[in-house]
Chains A and B, each alone.
Chain A
Amino acid sequence: MSVFEAILLTIITASTPLVIAGLGELVVERSGVLNLGVEGMMIMGAVAAFVGAQMSGSPYVGLITGIVAGALFSLLFGFLTLTLVTNQVATGLALTILGLGLSGMIGEGYVSVPGVQLRAIVFPLLSDIPLVGPVLFKQDLTFYLSIALLIGVSWFLFRSRVGLKLRAVGDSHGSAHALGIDVIRTRYLAVMFGGACAGLAGAQLSLVYTPQWVENMSAGRGWVTLALVVFASWRPMRVLAGGYLFGAVTILQFHAQGFGVGIPSQFLSMLPYASTIVVLVIISQNRRATLINTPASLGKAFVPER
């Protein structure tokens, strides 16, 4: 395996959780809900997936446990913000704090226990193609799911009737309600989808990225995801591009250090964040284009008149 190929493979591993959680949060925000609890849902997914995989011995059961845990945990957010109409920003932050604490408690007995790793699925013959083979046909299930999610979310939002309704809810919940769309139900489903994606991303962390459980192992990746959605100006394809850009800069800075490029390591560590800001600035040059994509009801509570 060449260094180039090896680099590509590690970039994919580093980027996949960002892409998955990013696509989930994109759907949530497109429905007009701002859930800042991605970090909390992700870490819940990570611990649930790890525990699930340990108890069953199967990483696939772990994967499902992670997805379900993320979705259930997001339901708490949904109940608070949609039914009880609490402030979305504060509730999202609280969800993260709760998730970090709760996951630590659940996972207490699982620290330093060797994990069950989700192995790569190898497509015979196809995986033998130089370069493209190992990158596209020798990956673990989460990578294929991230691509399926990209296609699915793009199709759903822009080609399906239900997706159109969801976008309508996000752009003007009042009008959508007047048209007879069930705003609250739509948002509940969107929030749960986002939670399931964050849970899957967390499962990738504890089953693929580093098959182990340690407290706080998401290490801020949930926050990066939130930035990624804004960075992508709520377009699925750009979530993919942004996620890979971020992953690539993270990996490449280590290689730069290894090859002895004389740049301060602190600067290299900052690069992924700095590049996010630079691209954000470039994108926001075109103010109208940005506004078109921003869901107009984002973060606003909806209380139907009775």
Chain B
Amino acid sequence: MKKLALTLATTAAAIIGFSAAAEAAPTKICFVYVGSHTDGGYSQAHDLGRQQIQKEFGDKIDTPYLENVPEGPDAERAIERLARSGCSLIFSTSFGFMDATAKVAAKFPKVKFEHATGFKSGPNLATYNSRFYEGRYILGQIAAKMSKNHGAAYIASFPIPEVVMGINSFEQGARSVDPNFKLKVIWVNTWFDPGKEADAAKAMIDQGVDILTQHTDTTAPMQVAEERGIHAFGQATDMLASGPHAQLTAVVDTWGNYYSKRVHALLDGTWKAEQNWDGLKDGILKMSPYTNMPDDVKKMAEETEAKIKSGELAPFTGPINKQDGTPWLKAGEKADDATLLGMNFYIEGVDDKLPAAK
């Protein structure tokens, strides 16, 4: 029922949004969001990027967007509708849109597509991603310093490589400070349900967890952390307003500069179907100010951040064992991107059984 409602709403939005803009002239750069453009998290971060390029390019471009597009068959219809409506470049911004985007891209060779956080590409399909895990390594280190009982809880959405990578990187960072650190993982199986995210947060705090981190999109866990007087990390946007005493820092997505680079390339005719994966050093990922922590912890976090930016430190550097104790990386060995982008196993120290991925 809810899906039906969303489909109808999406279709209606598409019709209204695109019949009005049929007069041509500005280049159409289109966006597809999985959540609402004001979700206070992931989709909003993309929308801030959209607003940035709209401002920068002014009348030269038009940036319509579709929001609340469910992942699955509905996504394909939504993206196809955009492709038909004269978009020159379509950014589909969620992992679950990958197959739909690839299908539509094959059907419309003249339209250019960019898919965020996935691994399928094509002649007119680029991918782009942010090395969120670099930030999460820093979160792990801070958590290990701040936790009184050598552990934290990770509120996770779906067992996709990005999330598994984030969990592992957090644990890896924590273990670099405290080898006995245990990370509890709670799967809520949604990106967006403030009630459920809050329930998961409360359950973990009731079980004695004193540090929360989230890989879901609303500020609800941060709010619960604030209310219960424990610490937490923000996700996608700076969530300090929801947790003025709780937030230690946040991994902030800043897509605007990337979008600007790509639109320039499109207008210059130099756009190529590249596979981009930028990180802290490119500014696509930022750490919000380190707050609510002692100076030595802050100093450590800043040093780690600088080391990651300079390339001196890579979060996944051996020796690292897989969860069951079998060796994964030898001492000094660095994980390659292909392994990371398809990561479907836990490393040692994660206190959870990985749900079977699709």
Contact = CB atoms under 8 A, between A and B. Distances in A.
A114 B2 contact: no
Contact of A93 (B4, B68, B209): B4
A210 B194 contact: yes
B278 interface: no
Contacts of B2: 39, 220, 223
Contacts of B351: 260
A97 B5 contact: yes
B187 A269 contact: yes
Contacts of B39: 111, 214-215
Contacts of B187: 257, 265-266, 269
Nearest to A211: B223
B40 A14 contact: no
A66 interface: no
A14 B195 CA distance: 8
Contacts of B195: 14, 205, 209-210, 217, 219, 221
B241 interface: yes
Nearest to B351: A260
B220 A212 contact: yes
Nearest to A256: B203
Interface stretch (A100-108, A141-149, A233-241, A277-285): A100-108
B194 A212 contact: yes
B276 interface: no
A254 B200 contact: yes
A250 interface: yes
Contact of A250 (B4, B196, B218, B241): B196
A217 B9 CA distance: 16
Interface in A151-196: none
Contact of B203 (A100, A111, A221, A255): A255
A259 B199 contact: no
Interface stretch (A3-11, A19-27, A80-88, A297-305): A3-11
A264 interface: yes
B196 A259 contact: no
Dominant secondary structure of chain A at its interface with chain B: helix
Nearest to B217: A214
A170 B145 CA distance: 63
A257 B153 CA distance: 11
A7 B206 contact: yes
B192 A212 contact: no
Interface in B147-185: 153, 184-185
A216 B223 contact: no
Nearest to A221: B195
A296 B197 CA distance: 40
Interface in B187-220: 187-190, 192-200, 202-204, 206-207, 209, 218-220
Most chain A CB neighbours (cut-off 10 Å) among B40, B192, B199: B199
B282 interface: no
A258 B184 contact: yes
B48 interface: no
B69 to A, nearest CB: 12
Contacts of B190: 219
Given A214-B39, A254-B204, A269 B188 contact: yes
Nearest to A262: B353
Contact of A264 (B8, B202, B242, B355): B355
Interface in B331-355: 351-353, 355
A209 B198 contact: yes
B356 interface: yes
A254 B204 CA distance: 8
Given A100-B5, A211-B223, A258 B194 contact: no
Contact of B9 (A14, A97, A117, A220): A97
Interface in B294-348: none
Given A14-B195, A210-B223, A223-B1, A216 B206 contact: no
11 contacts: A93-B1, A97-B5, A97-B8, A111-B38, A209-B194, A210-B195, A214-B38, A215-B39, A251-B199, A254-B204, A257-B184
Given A219-B190, A269-B188, 8 more contacts: A3-B206, A10-B202, A93-B5, A210-B220, A212-B194, A257-B187, A258-B184, A265-B187
Interface of A: 3, 6-7, 10, 14, 36, 39, 93, 96-97, 100-101, 104, 108, 111-114, 117, 205, 209-212, 214-217, 219-221, 223, 250-251, 254-255, 257-260, 262, 264-266, 269
